[in-house]
Structure formats: C-alpha cells, structure tokens
Amino acid sequence: MTTTTLITVAPTGAESAKSEAPALPVTLDELLRTAIECEAIGASVIHVHVRDDAAAPTLDQGRLRATVEALRERTDLIVQLSTGGAVTDPEADRLAVLDAGPEMASCTMGTVNFGDDVFLNRWEFIVELHTRMQDRGIVPEYEIFDLGQLAALRRLLDRHGLPAGGHVHVDLVMGVPGGMPGTVAALVACRQAMRDLPAGSTFSATGIGRASLPVMFAALADGGHLRVGMEDTLSYAKGRPVESNMQLVARAVSLAQLAQRPPATPAQARELLGVGAK
C-alpha cells in the first residue's frame, strides 16, 4: 500500500461548454492560474486539454507547445497531455499531440460508447501511441473505460513491452454512459483484472458526475490514487454546481488526508510514476 496519494487534476476536458460552466479554465491564463492553485493545495499531475479562442477543444500544435512550456515554467506539476482529445479528433492529430513534448500523455485502451458518441481507439492506433511514447520517453497513463481494456493492456505490454519509465499506471474512468459504472463492484473487478499486470502497477480512479464521491472512497480504500476536476464533474453536490477545480482538488486532498495517505508532492509523484526528475 502506498503511503501517499497521487492527485491528478483534469481541469478542462473536451466536452463541457464554457457557457454552461463559466469556471471552466479555457484560456492559457485561466489554465495556469488553476494549475498553480491546484498544485498549492496538493495536486501533482495535470491532465490537459486545450481550447481555441472560441473555447472549443483543439489539438493545435502551437497551443499545445505553449501550454506545456508555460506549465513547466510556472509549476512543478507533471504535465500530462490528453491524446484522447475530443471524439471528433482524427487519429493523426491525436498522435501529433506527442510532438508537443509532454512528460506524460494519456493512452486509452479501447473503443467505448461515449454518451451518444463513440470514442474510437483502434488496436493499431493504441500500438502506435504506445510505441511512439516508448521511443520518446513519454510516460503513458493508460485510460481504462471498461473492464476488457485491462486485458487489452496486458496484451499490449506482452507484445510491445513496458512503457517509458518501466512503470505501469492506469486511470479507471468510471461512469461514462457507455463504459463501466462508477461502483465499488466495478472497481473491485478492475482491481482483480489488474493482477495480470506487472507487479507494482498502480491505479488512480475518477468517477464521472455523481460517481465522483463513491469512486474516490473506493479507490482510497483500495490503495488507489485520485483524479478529479471539471473534465469529469460539474456538480459538487446535489443542486450545487462546482465553483472551481480547486474546490474539487481540496475535497480530494481532505479525503486523502482522512485516509492517512496525504497528497504526493510532484517529486514523489515523479518517482512513483517513473517520470524523470524535473
């Protein structure tokens, strides 16, 4: 059991509109302010999606590079770029995210229904992402939306080897309509499937929407790490919209402290995940 809790903030995502969630950080300035404040509270990783001038999701290379650069300059957070993008993003653009030089990037382990959409992740695409990240020393976080995606990860590692850094870390994304539910039973099933992964593999978990709290409790109880943020949750409690990403990070920090596994510092997170020192 680890003694600290890795807290990842996913502040923006690609799905929510600024008009519906005014606290969503969509400009570089807003993102930087959020990152600095979340780091001060206890986050150690930031999962980043960027937006364009109209606040629409974009994989524009210039914006991605500027974002990575600014976050590295102004914070010690591990910068994890999303290669998932939006459901409409073409594979070539999603692969090109790696050209922006992040320390970490997400790698989703299979196709999943995503509300009324489809989040497409073909096997060949996953292999390409994984091997490009190996070649460039970018540490993946394997995003798991459904149980079978853990079997796909085992297959990936068997055929193509360990990721950069040598450590396997997965993020269980629970409660997407079309994916696994955000329940204790689903988390336990994933943990059992994780026994087929290399010894020492770690996990974090995030519950979408109202699954946020039960998933946090279950993950902490089972030695897991936490991801929170407005990418995943816009409601703090029934009838109470989220005021800011900091509010969600603060709640995760207090739960981690209650569990007697205080937040990992960015340096501790780097060691845990196999990300090189800054």
Task: Name the site residues for Zn ion (rule: CB under 5 A).
Answer: 82
Among 23, 66, 87, 213, binds ligand KMH (CB under 6 A): 87
- Total residues at interface with ligand KMH (CB under 6 A): 13
Counting other chains too, the contacts that 52-57 makes at CB distance below 8 Å and 24 or more residues apart are 55/17, 55/18, 55/24, 55/26, 57/14, 57/85, 57/86, 57/89
Tokens (6 digits) for 273: 């995940």
Tokens (6 digits) for 160: 């193509």
Cα 211 to Cα 214: distance, rounded to the nearest angstrom? 6
Per-position x/- string for 109-128, each x denoting binding to ligand KMH as judged by CB under 6 A, each - no binding: -----x----x---------
Among 24, 41, 58, 143, binds ligand KMH (CB under 6 A): 143
Is residue 82 part of the contact set for ligand KMH (CB under 6 A)? yes
Query: Per DSSP, what are the bridge partners of residue 79?
Result: 46
CA distances from 261 to 38, 57, 91 (A): 18, 35, 38
Cβ closest to Zn ion, residue 117 vs residue 196: 117
Is residue 172 part of the contact set for ligand KMH (CB under 6 A)? no
Is residue 14 part of the contact set for ligand KMH (CB under 6 A)? yes
Tokens (6 digits) for 207: 């519950």
Stretch that binds ligand KMH, among 11-19, 21-29, 186-194, 197-205 (CB under 6 A): 11-19
Helix (H, G, I), strand (E, B) or coil at 113: strand
Binding site for ligand KMH (CB under 6 A): 13-15, 82-84, 86-87, 106, 108, 114, 119, 143
